[in-house]
């Protein structure tokens, strides 16, 4: 059954590449709830960190932009990268652009006379679509650290302590636990070597566990 479903998805994607928007929707629609949840989680942390205002965008609006970009750039999706990983990479790109724009807006507001605020630029669009392929790909999936906190624990910790993880660590851990991506795909999304990515997940898991232990110890 799973094999038949896989073939159906491949056929629909091939049709989408030739301009069939309905086929594209059939492929991406099952992932929309997951993308909305991912956008909601990222927005919650970015708002809590003060990076974005609360009313800037809804998760649904973010995912709508993600799907629009995915449709326009569907021929740039690497065949060996899962659709889930590819869409998550676009989602993070959309949110990073919004953070970048908000930082620039704030700097201009704070220094209206300075017409050239120093805001680090994002990579250009062409560079983004040149999909990163880690060079240290292992023959087998590298073992991930255990125990790794469950997605609910990660989300609850980030809601109360959003700065406990840097953005890359937060995304790596959630992609591993919530979105079930293997370390090779996470490395490709984050544009990091596989070994570095594995350590990033390990350290992120350690920080979440430590944050939970600290809260527990404080309540006793």
CATH number where 184 lies = 1.10.10
Residue 149 CB neighbours (<10 A): 20
Residue 53 gets which letter from DSSP?
-
The 3-state DSSP class for residue 196 equals helix
Indicate if 139 and 72 belong to the same structural domain: no
pLDDT at 103 over 50: yes
Q: Which residues contact 173 (CB under 8 A, 6 or more apart)?
A: 148, 149, 154, 165, 201, 204, 205, 208
pLDDT band at 218 (very low <50, low <70, confident <90, very high): very low
Give dist(CA 96, CA 90) in Å, integer.
Answer: 10
Indicate if 101 and 151 belong to the same structural domain: no
Indicate if 68 and 174 belong to the same structural domain: no
How confident is the model over 62-73, as pLDDT tens digits? 999 999 999 999
Say what the pTM is: 0.80
Q: What range defines the domain where residue 181 resides? A: 132-220
The 3-state DSSP class for residue 80 equals coil
Predicted local confidence at residue 139, as pLDDT: 45
Predicted local confidence at residue 148, as pLDDT: 72
Going by C-alpha positions, the residue among 180, 191, 194, 193 that lies closest to residue 84 is 180
Indicate if 152 and 99 belong to the same structural domain: no
The 3-state DSSP class for residue 111 equals coil
Residue 198 half-sphere exposure, CB side, CA atoms within 13 Å? 16
Predicted local confidence at residue 122, as pLDDT: 75
Going by C-alpha positions, the residue among 74, 84, 79 that lies closest to residue 32 is 84
Indicate if 117 and 203 belong to the same structural domain: no
More confident site: 160 or 39: 39
How confident is the model over 113-153, as pLDDT tens digits? 555 555 566 777 777 877 777 765 554 555 555 567 888 88
Rounded to 5°, the CA angle 208-122-113 comes to 110
Indicate if 137 and 70 belong to the same structural domain: no
Q: What is the DSSP string of 116-181?
A: S---PPPPPHHHHTS----S---SSPPPPPSSPPPHHHHHHHHHH-GGGS-HHHHHHHHHHHTS--
Q: Are 119 and 103 in contact (CB under 8 A)?
A: yes
More confident site: 3 or 173: 173
Indicate if 21 and 89 belong to the same structural domain: yes
Tell me, rounded to whole angstroms, the distance of Cα 28 from its chain centroid.
Answer: 16
Paired tokens of 66: 């993600």
pLDDT at 13 over 90: yes
Residue 78 gets which letter from DSSP?
-
Indicate if 15 and 73 belong to the same structural domain: yes
Indicate if 119 and 166 belong to the same structural domain: no
**What is the sign, positive or negative, of the torsion defined by CA atoms of 62, 38, 3, 194?**
positive
């Amino acid at each position: 059954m799973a094999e038949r479903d896989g073939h159906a998805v491949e056929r629909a994607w091939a049709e989408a590449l030739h301009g069939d928007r309905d086929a594209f929707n059939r492929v991406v629609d099952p992932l929309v709830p997951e993308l909305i949840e991912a956008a909601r989680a990222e927005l919650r942390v970015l708002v809590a960190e003060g990076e974005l205002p609360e009313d800037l965008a809804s998760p649904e609006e973010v995912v709508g932009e993600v799907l629009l970009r995915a449709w326009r750039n569907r021929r740039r999706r690497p065949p060996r990268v899962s659709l889930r990983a590819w869409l998550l990479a676009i989602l993070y790109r959309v949110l990073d652009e919004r953070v970048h724009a908000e930082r620039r807006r704030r700097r201009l507001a704070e220094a209206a006379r300075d017409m050239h605020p120093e805001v680090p630029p994002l990579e250009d669009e062409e560079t983004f679509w040149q999909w990163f392929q880690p060079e240290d790909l292992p023959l087998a999936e590298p073992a991930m650290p255990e125990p790794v906190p469950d997605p609910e624990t990660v989300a609850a910790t980030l809601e109360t302590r959003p700065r406990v993880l840097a953005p890359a660590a937060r995304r790596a851990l959630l992609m591993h636990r919530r979105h079930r991506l293997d370390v090779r795909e996470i490395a490709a999304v984050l544009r990091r070597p596989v070994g570095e990515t594995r350590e990033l997940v390990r350290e992120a898991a350690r920080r979440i566990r430590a944050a939970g232990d600290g809260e527990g110890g404080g309540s006793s």
